[in-house]
Amino acid sequence: MSHLILVRHGQSEWNLENKFTGWVDVDLSAKGKLEACKAGELIKELNIDINFFYTSYQKRAVETLKLILNTLRIKNDKVIKAWELNERHYGALTGFNKDEMKKIYGEKKIHEFRRSWDNTPEPLNKNNPYHPLNILIYNDIPRDKIPDTESLKDTYNRVVEYFKKNISKKLDKNILISAHGNSIRALCKYLFKINNNEISKLEIPTGNPLLINFNNKNKIDSVKYLDKNRAKNLLIFS
């Protein structure tokens, strides 16, 4: 049996402020750092050797993985960073408070922007300081790959393509991925075969490792959150 562990980063400063974050590179909050350390403790209790470590370019996911590895007493020299695992780009909503946007667009519309499969917010102006073109860590990404906005479908396409090319062939090993709410939703949609309508119901909690066990044929054998008190419905059996 092999294991794939998916961890959404701990609470970020903009999670705390209830802002649309997307590709903006924000730090973990104090609570988020504690969540990351707790995630490390839960993974440590599994008593397994992890062979590969993946994360996005964004420091909230990178720092979460670093804190997990510190807890596991593992050097982070083998970490693979992939921009394809970044959070979904929220377009013109980026940087705005979600509750304030509900007052402008209505709660139903904001829910559609956040949870629907192929609903895309208006694009973010390329001159906006929050646009990825103006954020230093993305300078090595081809400009034609940098989005102005994304739906979950767009996020799914880049995440799953990367997963198929770079990770799926290693599922006979133990793998840890530290990523984001929507990049993990995308992976779960693919792995659990969740349909386009049901995916809107999938919630991914911060800092709670999701353990996916594979049999010797690389088929999913079992799935569970390591922190049962903060587990969410995975829709895998729905």
Residue 181 and residue 115 in contact, taking contact as beta carbons nearer than 8 Å? no
One pLDDT digit (tens) per residue for the chain, 238 residues: 999 999 999 999 999 999 999 999 999 999 999 999 999 999 999 999 999 999 999 999 999 999 999 999 998 778 999 999 999 999 999 999 999 998 988 888 887 778 789 999 999 999 999 999 999 999 999 999 999 999 999 999 999 999 999 999 999 999 999 999 999 999 999 999 999 999 989 999 999 999 999 998 889 999 999 999 998 888 775 4
* Encoded tokens for 71: 């807890």
Q: Is residue 87 among the annotated active site residues?
A: yes
Of 3, 9, 89, 180, which is the active-site residue? 9
Let me know if domain 2-90+156-230 sits in CATH 3.40.605.10. no
State residue 99's pLDDT score: 92
Calpha distance 217→79 (Å, rounded):
26
State residue 105's pLDDT score: 81
Give me the sign of the Cα torsion angle 66, 32, 126, 109.
positive
Q: Is residue 9 among the annotated active site residues?
A: yes
Of 3, 87, 89, 131, which is the active-site residue? 87
* Encoded tokens for 55: 């994360």
Helix, strand, coil percentages, rounded to 5, for the chain: 45, 15, 45
State residue 12's pLDDT score: 98
State residue 225's pLDDT score: 97
State residue 139's pLDDT score: 97
State residue 70's pLDDT score: 96
